Amino acid sequence: MNRIPQIILHVAGWAIFITLPILFFPGPKDVLILFQGSRGLIEIIRYALLIGYFYFNYHLLVPRYYFGKKYWQLVVLTTGMYFLIVILPGMITPAAPINPARQMSMRESPAFNNNLNSPPPPDINMPRPFDEPEILREISFRLGRQTLLFTLVFLFSLMLRINTRLRETETARQKAEVAYLHAQINPHFLFNTLNSIYSLALQKADSTAQAVVKLSNMMRYVLTDTVHERVSLAKEIEYLNNYIELQRLRLPASVNLIVTIDQPSMEEKIAPMLIIPFIENAFKYGVNPEQPSEINIEIKLEYQLLFCTIKNQKVSTGNNEKTQVGIKNVQQRLHLMYPQKHTLNIKQSEWDFTVYLSIILQ
């Protein structure tokens, strides 16, 4: 989440939270009355402590004690924070009258105004027996309201931290899985490419040196660029072109290779090594010196949409189990890197194999 939206979300959340007492105030629902005098100072102190406790619980207590399975320590510390926030502000600040709404109604009554200048009765400062239940009810109400607010802050910070931990764990799992799948692809690429150069060397072809240069460029790309989560699409296309040209050097005359690849700009990004497994399979199963065949590779870019069509005739047999593993790996990477932003359709028959892949680039 970006910094500014996160700050705005926190400010809005605390603004809503601070207005909650108006709904629970046992008198006129007026924020000016609620936060006036010494009682208002108590409320301000308490809410400042609650806000501080939220971040203290989120950043320190929950990660250290809840995730560390030190539940008793968390209970003790939470109980201590409860007394600090709910009890202490009332001890350090003089309390206002218990019911300011009731006091205001008395001051506005005619009897109170008529007797304003008359001497007070002797027992005016003495507690009345019938006032005690009302005082207890209001103390109980205030304590319950403050306990409710403290509980809401505790539970919300706990759930928010747990949710953040789950998202961090899922992100780490996906990165580890992508790294594992990527590591599975690289040895396969090296094995196939070295086989191609080995075939040229056996034939003592003049194109062997050119093939070595192309392999060097490809290895540099694999070792330096593909370790990143996203790479330049232009570099990925260059890698594919080098691979195709390397394969073209050893193709027999019986293979009709048709390649149409758009040249992208340097701005588009893509997850590396997603298309190459399908191209490798096309050369693996679509080349047989004894039979005529055709391999068609088409890659188009329209705005932020990448379309790939790879089609080959089945004229050669190979290890179908390894092919299925390679395709499954690509499907998993697409699911992790482009959720809901890609389509992959694979159609095969007894004679041909076709891959349709589209990706919404970021």
pLDDT of 16 strictly over 50: yes
More confident call, 353 vs 89 = 353
Checking if the pLDDT of 91 tops 90, the result is no
Burial of 210 (0-12, 13-18, 19+ CB in 10 A): middle
Kindly give the pairing relationship between strand 293-302 and strand 255-261. parallel
Q: Quick one: tokens of 76?
A: 């003790």
Tens digits of per-residue pLDDT, 220-243?
888 788 778 888 999 999 999 998
What number of other Cβ atoms are within 10 A of residue 153's Cβ?
A: 21
Q: Measure Cα distances from 2 to 9, 106, 159, 167, 213 in Å.
A: 11, 53, 21, 16, 44
**Residue listed under structure tokens 């502000």:** 89
Per residue in 159-217, pLDDT tens? 988 988 888 877 777 766 666 656 555 566 677 678 878 877 888 877 788 888 888 88
Can you list the domains of the chain with their CATH numbers? Answer: 3-169 (no CATH), 176-360 (3.30.565.10)
* Length of the chain counted residue by residue: 362
DSSP character at residue 128: P
Lowest mean pLDDT among 59-68, 78-87, 194-203, 341-350: 194-203
Coil, strand, or helix at residue 241?
Answer: helix
Cα–Cα distance, 229 to 290 (Å, whole number): 42
Is the Cβ–Cβ distance between 303 and 331 less than 8 Å?
no
Tally of CA atoms within 13 A in the half-sphere of 152 that contains its CB: 16
pTM for the full model? 0.55
**Residues 312-334: pLDDT tens digits?**
998 876 666 666 777 888 888 89
Region at 347 (left for phi over 0; alpha for psi -120 to 50; beta for the rest): beta
